Chains A and B, each alone.
Chain A
Amino acid sequence: MIRIRGLVKRFGSLEAVKKLDLSVPPGEIFGFLGPNGAGKTTTVRMLCGLIKPTEGRIVVAGFDMAERAIEAKRAVGLVPDEPFVYPKLSGAEYLRFIGELYGVPLPEARRRIPELLEMFELGGWGGELVESYSHGMRQKLVIAGVLLHQPKVLLLDEPMVGLDPKSARMTKDIFLTLAARGTTIFMCTHILEIAEKLCDRIGIMIAGELRALGTLEDLRGLARPAPKAHDPPCGPAPRSDLEDVFLSLTGGREYSELLKNL
Chain B
Amino acid sequence: MVGLLLRRRALSLGNCVRSLTGYEVARNLAFTAAGIGLLFGLYSGFHRLLAYLVTVELIGRLLVWKLTAMMMLTTFSMVSISGLLTSLTTLYFSCDLRFLMVAPLSIRAVFIDKSLESIFFASWMIGLVLLPFVTALAQVSGYGWGFYAAFVVTLAPFLALAASAGIAATLVILYLFPSSRTRDAVYVIATLSLTLVYGLVRFAEPERLIRPDALHVVADYLNFLQAPTAPYAPSWWLTEALRSYAAGKTAVFWWNCGLLYGCAAAVYALLVMLASRVYFIGYSGAQEGGLRRLEAPLGTLLETRAARWLGAGPDLAALFWRERKCFFRDVKHWSQILLILGLIFVYLYSVKRLPLDNQDIRSIISFLNVGVAGFVIAALGLRFTYPAISIEGLSWWVVRCAPVSLASVMRQKFLFSAIPMTMVALTLGIMTNRLLDADPFTSRLSLSSLLVMTWVIVAMGIGYGALFPMFNVENIHQIESSLGGFVYMASSLAYVGVSIMVLSWPMQMHFRERFGKAGAWDWRIAGLCAAAIIVINAAACILPWKMGLRKLENHEGPA
Contacts and interface: CB of A to CB of B under 8 A. Distances in A.
Interface of A: 11, 41, 45, 48-52, 69-71, 73-74, 76, 78, 80, 82, 84-86, 88-90, 92-93, 96-98, 100-103, 106, 109-110, 113, 126-129, 131-132
22 contacts: A49-B400, A50-B557, A52-B553, A69-B405, A73-B402, A78-B401, A78-B559, A84-B395, A88-B329, A90-B295, A92-B296, A97-B318, A97-B321, A97-B322, A98-B402, A100-B301, A100-B314, A100-B318, A101-B318, A126-B295, A131-B289, A132-B289
Given A84-B393, A93-B296, A101-B315, 5 more contacts: A84-B395, A89-B325, A97-B398, A101-B404, A103-B403
B330 interface: yes
Contacts of A128: 289-290, 292-293
Given A93-B325, A129-B329, A50 B401 contact: yes
Contacts of B405: 69-70
B556 interface: yes
Query: Which 4 A-B residue pairings sit nearest by Cβ, starting from the closest?
Result: A132-B289, A100-B318, A84-B394, A127-B295
B289 A102 contact: no
Given A73-B403, A103-B314, A131-B289, A50 B321 contact: no
Nearest to A75: B403
A208 B206 CA distance: 67
Q: Which of B300, B317, B403, B404 has the most CB of A within 10 A?
A: B403
Contacts of A73: 401-403
B223 interface: no
B403 A132 contact: no
Interface in B398-416: 398-405
Interface string B283-310: 0000001101111101011001000000
Contacts of B314: 100, 103
Contacts of A96: 298
Interface in B78-103: none
Interface in B347-400: 393-395, 397-400
A70 B403 contact: yes
B404 A70 contact: yes
Contacts of A89: 322, 325-326
Interface residues of B, number: 40
A73 B401 CA distance: 6
Nearest to A132: B289
Given A85-B395, A101-B318, A132 B300 contact: no
Contacts of B315: 100-101
Contacts of A106: 298, 300
B294 A127 contact: yes
B89 to A, nearest CB: 14
A109 B559 CA distance: 25
Nearest to A49: B401
B558 interface: yes
B554 interface: yes
Contacts of A98: 398, 402
A89 B301 CA distance: 15
Contacts of A41: 559
A208 to B, nearest CB: 16
B289 A88 contact: no
B290 A131 contact: yes
A88 B291 CA distance: 12
B464 to A, nearest CB: 22
Given A101-B403, A128-B292, A52 B554 contact: yes
Contacts of A76: 401
A88 B326 contact: yes
B401 A48 contact: yes
Contacts of A100: 301, 304, 314-315, 317-318, 321
Interface in B541-559: 553-554, 556-559
